[in-house]
Amino acid sequence: MTPTQQGNRTVTIGFLYPDHAAEDDYPYAEKLLGDTAKLAVEHVYGTDLHAVAELLDLGSPSRLAEGARRLLTHDPAALVWACTSGSFVYGWDGAREQIDALSTAANGLPASSTSFAFVHAAETLGLRRVAVAASYPRDVATLFADFLAHGGVDVVDMSTADIATAAEVGRLRPDDVVELIVSRDRPDTDALLVPDTAMRTLALIDPLEQRLGKPVLTANQVTVWEGLRLVGVPPPVPGLGTLFRRKGT
């Protein structure tokens, strides 16, 4: 089943996005998808600080349940918690419980999160050794590396920009984002992973991949792909990198 085969209507996928930073990546992706899917975004509000205690609160069951209720008004076929740090900070088992609770709050609809999206995307592309270009402080970024390791992905190099808040990440200029990513590549890795949904990246993925000669997986990219995966087979979409050029994944 492909995402367009949901009766006679274009399928809607719901995304819970934390606060405001780079959510305009979602209408950008929707435009590239054409009539394949509608991407509905609702917001979860809390602190945008990249710190463990605050991230645990941001991804709490009550906040996600409230967001799920708002997303249900869009009649989605699946939901994704569009936050990497607010999911991996719970650890593998806790992040699984988080999306199970999100599914329950959404009347049993399939659900996932950006952290699991990275693991599923890496598995689809056969990635085993990756570098991570994280915007977070090191203690938070280390939890992402641990999460990936649990999913069978070996982080051989992890760099951190030590940016304190999502709002600061969202204000980065495109040239700053490119520099942050390119400067953190490792030639001996299969791909470069960029884990912050607060970072505006979708328009930059193809140029980055051409420059680096390898797949680049970014948070908003894999989140959109994960939503499509939940409802069928993600279609090939020009302009969103190697992950979206795969057929039948």
> What domains lie within the chain, and their CATH numbers?
11-116+221-240 (3.40.50.12500), 121-217 (3.40.50.12500)
d(CA 62, CA 38): 26
For residue 39, the surrounding DSSP H or E stretch is strand 37-44
- What letter would DSSP give residue 235? P
Predicted confidence (pLDDT) per residue in 128-187, tens digit: 999 999 988 899 999 999 999 999 999 998 888 888 787 888 788 999 999 889 988 889
Angstrom distances, CA of residue 50 to CA of 66, 112, 142, 163, 169: 22, 21, 12, 8, 11
* pTM for the predicted model, two decimal places: 0.93
Predicted confidence (pLDDT) per residue in 217-231, tens digit: 999 999 999 999 999
Burial class (CB in 10 A: 0-12, 13-18, 19+), 187: exposed
Give the mean pLDDT of 200-211. Answer: 95
* 94 has a pLDDT exceeding 60: yes
Residues, the chain: 249
Predicted confidence (pLDDT) per residue in 1-25, tens digit: 455 445 557 899 999 999 889 999 9
Give the CB-side neighbour count of residue 178, counting CA atoms within 13 A.
13
Beta-bridge mates of residue 113: 81
